[in-house]
Amino acid sequence: MRIGIIGAENSHTIGYGKLFNIDHKFPGFQVKYVWGETEEFAKNAMEKGAIPNMVSDPMEMMGKIDALIVDHRHAKYHLEAATPFVKAGIPTFIDKPFCYRVSEGKEFLAMARKSGTPVTSYSSIRQSDAAFDIKKQLESLGEFNHVVSLGPADIESKYGGIFFYGVHLVDPILFWFGENVSRVRISKNGKNATASLGYDDGKMVTLIFKNISSGWDTFVETKEGVIRLSSNVEESDPPKHYVDMVEMFRTGKEPRNHQSILASVAVLEALEKSVISEEWEDVPGID
């Protein structure tokens, strides 16, 4: 299966090249084409990811690929880049974050359904063996109330602020604890920031945006005390987020429903508003 990639500024593009073309983790799949935001970005991806062809216009890939990966750093560029290919029936994976506005995402996904084209997008933290194992654990955990999750995020990132890395916090939280977040609020003190996610059932999630360390951790208040959520399984090789993408390319089966994709964007959009207001902001509807 021939894969094309739109976007080469992100290091993920080199990673896809290594995955398919160098390590051959999925025999029969190869990244054949790349378009870069600059020629330098594209050539770097070609060299380090063993990608054989560069195009000066993404549309040059039309008719030459069987699947598409859209991999811009800023989410605002994703949907426009993907649209002609999705309309043409080419299965498409959109790297995180899916899009920059819920309204645009709804229109795009409606178009994808009308075209009969499989489309997906997710944080690699959410779409992991570890995250799915934790979700199973939560089902048998009993009653819980407060949740605290820590991970890197930059509310002032030039690649969409909270959208750029905040998706790695928001996507797993909604997967584990539900999508019924009704309002959010950002609190700032100098360069430090946290977010509160208010669920409509009264549950509260606090996100702590790390800026001097990496990694993700989540803690839950239960009747027995506060516990750290940790996986009991090893991540598969290749990792689940790659396997699920390739399975969609191969079979057309989407690994998550469209509503869950939009729910994550909606929370991020509300958080972006609260970065400015530092007040509670309602999460936009996705229905």
pLDDT score, position 151:
98
pLDDT at 209: 98
Closest residue by Cα to residue 150 from 263, 240, 229, 222: 229
Structural domains present in the chain: 2-123+237-255 (3.40.50.720), 129-235+266-282 (3.30.360.10)
Q: What does the pLDDT read at residue 141?
A: 87
Question: Does 196 have pLDDT greater than 90?
Answer: yes
Closest CA to 82 of 35, 50, 16: 35
Q: Give the model confidence (pLDDT) of 215-254 as tens digits.
A: 999 999 998 899 999 999 999 999 999 999 999 999 999 9
pLDDT score for 108: 99
Q: Interhelix angle for 129-139 vs 162-177, to 10°? A: 40
Residue 144, pLDDT score? 85
Alpha-carbon distance of 39 to 238, in angstroms, equals 30
pLDDT in tens, 71-97: 999 999 999 999 999 999 999 999 999
* pLDDT tens sequence across 167-178: 999 999 999 999
The residue-averaged pLDDT of 58-64 equals 98
Q: What is the pLDDT of residues 100-152, one digit of tens each?
A: 999 999 999 999 999 999 999 999 999 999 999 999 999 988 888 899 999 99
Measured between its terminal Cα atoms, the distance across the chain in Å is 35
Q: What is the pLDDT of residue 259?
A: 98
What's the whole-number mean pLDDT along residues 272-284?
98
Share of the chain above pLDDT 70, in %: 100
What's the confidence (pLDDT) of residue 93?
Answer: 99
Percent of the chain with pLDDT over 90: 95
pLDDT for the residue numbered 50: 98
Is residue 103 classed as helix, strand or coil in its secondary structure? helix
d(CA 256, CA 141): 24
Residue at token pair 């690994």 = 255
Q: How confident is the model at residue 286 (pLDDT cuts 50, 70, 90)?
A: confident
Q: Give residue 40's pLDDT.
A: 97
**Mean pLDDT on 33-37:** 97
Phi, psi of 46 (to 5 degrees): -60, -45
Order of strands across the sheet that contains 67-70: 53-54, 30-35, 2-6, 67-70, 92-94, 119-120
